[in-house]
Amino acid sequence: MARAVSKKKVAVVTVIAWIVALIIFFPILYTIITSFKSESEAITGFNLIPSGTLESYAAVEAQSGYFKFFLNSVVLSLGSTLIALLIGVPAAWSMAFAPSNRTKDILMWMLSTKMMPAVAVLVPFYLMFRDLGLLDSRVGLTVMLTMINLPIVIWMLYTYFREIPGEILEAARMDGATLWGEVVYVLTPMAVPGIASTMLLNIILAWNEAFWTLRLTTTNAAPLTTFIASFSSPQGLFWAKLSAASTLAIAPILIMGWFSQKQLVRGLTFGAVK
Amino acid sequence: MGNIVLKKVNKSFGATQVIPGIDLTIEDGEFVVFVGPSGCGKSTLLRLIAGLEDTTSGAIEIDGKDVTAAAPAKRGLAMVFQSYALYPHMSVAKNIAFPLKMAKMSQAAIDKKVADAARVLNLTNYLERRPGQLSGGQRQRVAIGRAIVREPSAFLFDEPLSNLDAALRGTMRLEISELHHQLKTTMIYVTHDQVEAMTMADKIVVLNAGNIEQVGSPMELYHRPNNLFVAGFIGSPKMNLITGNIAVPFNAQTIGVRPEHIAISNTEGAWRGSVGVAEHLGADTFVYVHTEQAGNVTVRAPGNIEIRHGDVVYLTPDPDHIHRFDRDGLAIR
């Protein structure tokens, strides 16, 4: 009896979950559908079945060259993730294994920077970038993306490292492991899943970042967010082309997310269930 | 060899002094138990010997060599942790082999040693498993295996049995004692459980608030406690400590009588009282008596005694087993 009820409950929850997921995913789906329509089709109203034309894609590629933006996106997201990990791993490490009285405060402070609206510091950053000649440069934007995602990287890694019991490291030390041996044979194997999911999430966040990438670039360092934006304002409302551009922009990250979703979910819920 | 000497070892965490300064000699081959209530500094002392904590001042010598500043690995000690601290991503065989691998031993020699250790510890059938697939007792044995393959000069045990259930704890206690007889290596064992201390130790070190209260064999501590703390800590049920008029004829501030050294009678005796609770354990009965003269007194009576709540009883302490303590809580001898 109790079992039947719980089965029913599971079914209800499953249906609700599917509806919610569909609502969340629908805009993306509709964007993809629209990208396969002609411009006239796209403005005629709600329609789930496209004609299947690729003319929008051809037009988009011919107009602005997808590949250049794609390359910038790759360089920016991978570059900023790599630097964030280089800084974040040792930082999280020392906070997890050699905390001081102020570790908690530092973590809170880092988190608080994420609560500040980015636009509040737009002007100072813009001026700094202008004076340093970093506007529309890959270096400048990589630094920017590193800075905005570093708090999240450190927080995630910190929670991961905290899960590694200190006694295991002490055991390794007693067993004669040098610092190097400790890192290679014990720490890294235990921390790899955490570092990997942090890396994946950070790549996604950096790839999707649209505030600073739109404001600090024009052409040279512009990633795919700029590529999408360039189809919205200056040329009027070309829905099909805009959708094609968006689809092209989100496709790589969607594919990556699909293949790494297990890792990502584990990473994001790690430490929450124990 | 595993002769360990602590000279005025002091440890402070910031302004808090955990161990004010300890002198202690541990002979080669001895089974020494550090016992004391939680927070008494016993684990810290073990970690100082292991090298996992830095000594604030004083010196630690192992086999005559000053190792105060030496890294844990250089001290030739092996440690078994309360949480076992096994490497979760390695098989049992790899866990046991880890210290040998770190010592850059040849694979053939490693395999032989691991097989030997596994045989001694009944782990041969589990060598390919991960720690997560083992029971608590098996994990503990893997931790011990990892310690013995190194052939250390001394073993350090940090409350190794406190995560096990009571039955398994009894078995593992015997196994560790047997291992000590086999290996004849120095062992330092930390516990808050005075039963473990009494049953396993050659020498017990009773610690309280970072100070050594007394060092001695289990029977020495039982029969001749130096002070009130040791008197109350060693022995189960606890020694009855009675202050007041009763102690005056003994020229003492406090007298102590163990529950097993009090005779209980229905008709006559020194102290009159009524039974609060009688715990029938089978072999023994622990009787908690409210007396007029001596306050609450615990008595260890035979298992077959017929007694229940509210009965009037008379208690008589055995005059040969009365411990006397002065105003400072020190034993008067």
CATH number, position B249: 2.40.50.140
Question: In the structure encoding, which two tokens stand for residue A136, read together?
Answer: 């529309």
Is B35 in the same domain as B72? yes
pLDDT above 90 (res A111): no
Q: Give the three-state DSSP class for B135.
A: coil
Question: DSSP secondary structure string, B221-246?
Answer: HHHS-SBHHHHHHSSSSPPEEEESGG
The pLDDT assigned to B11 comes to 93
Instruction: Count each helix (H run) and each strand (E run) in chain A, helices first.
Output: 14, 0
| Count of CB pairs separated by less than 8 Å, A with B | 60
Q: Which residues of A touch B71 (CB under 8 A)?
A: 173
- Selecting from A167, A185, A190 the residue whose C-beta is nearest the C-beta of B85 gives A167
Contacts of A144 (CB under 8 A, 6+ apart): A80, A125, A129, A212, A216
Q: How far is A79 from chain B (nearest CA, A)?
A: 30
Q: Name the pLDDT band for A38 (thresholds 50, 70, 90).
A: confident
| In the predicted structure, residue A268 carries a pLDDT above the cut 90 | no
Domain boundaries, chain A: 2-35, 58-269
A172·B78 Cβ contact <8 A:
no
Q: B110 is written with which tokens?
A: 């490693």
Instruction: Give the residue-averaged pLDDT of B177-200.
Output: 93
**Closest residue by Cα to residue B94 from B138, B127, B118:** B127
- What is the average pLDDT across B210-221? 94
User: What's chain B's length in residues?
Assistant: 333
Look at chain B and report how many structural domains it folds into.
Answer: 2
Cβ of A170 within 8 Å of Cβ of B81? The answer is: yes
Question: CB-CB: which of B52, B73, B83 is closest to A176?
Answer: B73
My answer on whether B77 and B141 are in the same domain is yes
User: Is the CB of residue A29 less than 8 Å from the CB of residue A10?
Assistant: no
Together in a domain, B50 and B126:
yes
Confidence of residue A271 (pLDDT cuts 50, 70, 90): very low
> Count of alpha carbons within 13 Å of B176, Cβ hemisphere only?
33
Chain A residues touching B98 at Cβ < 8 A: 172, 175, 177, 185
Q: Which residues of A touch B73 (CB under 8 A)?
A: 173-178
Using the predicted structure, report yes or no on whether residue B294 has a pLDDT greater than 80: yes
Q: What is the mean pLDDT of residues B195-208?
A: 94
Residues B77 and B206 in one domain: yes
Assign residue B214 the CATH number of its domain: 3.40.50.300
Contact B52/A at CB under 8 A: yes
The mean pLDDT of B246-271, rounded to a whole number, is 92
Would the CB atoms of A175 and B102 count as touching at under 8 Å? yes
Helical H segments across A132-187, by residue range:
138-162, 166-174, 179-181
ipTM over 0.90: no
- Mean pLDDT for A170-192 is 87
The yes-or-no verdict on residue A206 having pLDDT over 80 is yes
Instruction: Indicate the DSSP class of residue A272.
Output: T
Q: Identify whether B143 is part of a domain.
A: yes
Q: Do B73 and A178 touch (CB under 8 A)?
A: yes
Whose tokens are 């990892």? That residue is B146
Question: How is residue A162 written in tokens?
Answer: 């905290």
Same domain, B161 and B261: no
Place of tokens 């000069």: B153
Q: Do B47 and B103 lie in a common domain?
A: yes
Q: What is the mean pLDDT of residues A143-159?
A: 91
Does pLDDT of A226 surpass 70? yes
pLDDT given at position A267: 63
Check whether B188 has a pLDDT greater than 70: yes
User: Which long-range contacts does B13-16 make (Cβ < 8 Å, 24+ apart)?
Assistant: none
Q: What residues of A are in contact with residue B102 (Cβ under 8 Å)?
A: 175-178, 181
Name the band, by pLDDT with cuts 50, 70 and 90, for residue A272.
Answer: very low
Angle at A166 between CA A149 and CA B150, to 5 degrees: 135
Q: Between A68 and A84, where is the model more confident?
A: A84
Q: Domain residues for B29?
A: 4-231
The last residue of one of the domains, among B231, B259, B284, is B231
CATH of A58-269, one of 1.10.3720.10, 1.20.58.340, 1.20.120.420, 3.40.190.10: 1.10.3720.10
pTM above 0.80, yes or no: no
Instruction: Kindly determine whether residue B87 and residue A186, on different chains, have CB atoms separated by under 8 Å.
Output: yes
What is the predicted pLDDT for the residue at A94? 86
What percent of chain B shows pLDDT beyond 70? 100
Q: What pLDDT, on a 0 to 100 scale, did the predictor assign at position A274?
A: 33
Q: What is the pLDDT of residue A273?
A: 38
Average pLDDT over residues A149-178: 90
Six-digit token pair at B162? Answer: 């406190």
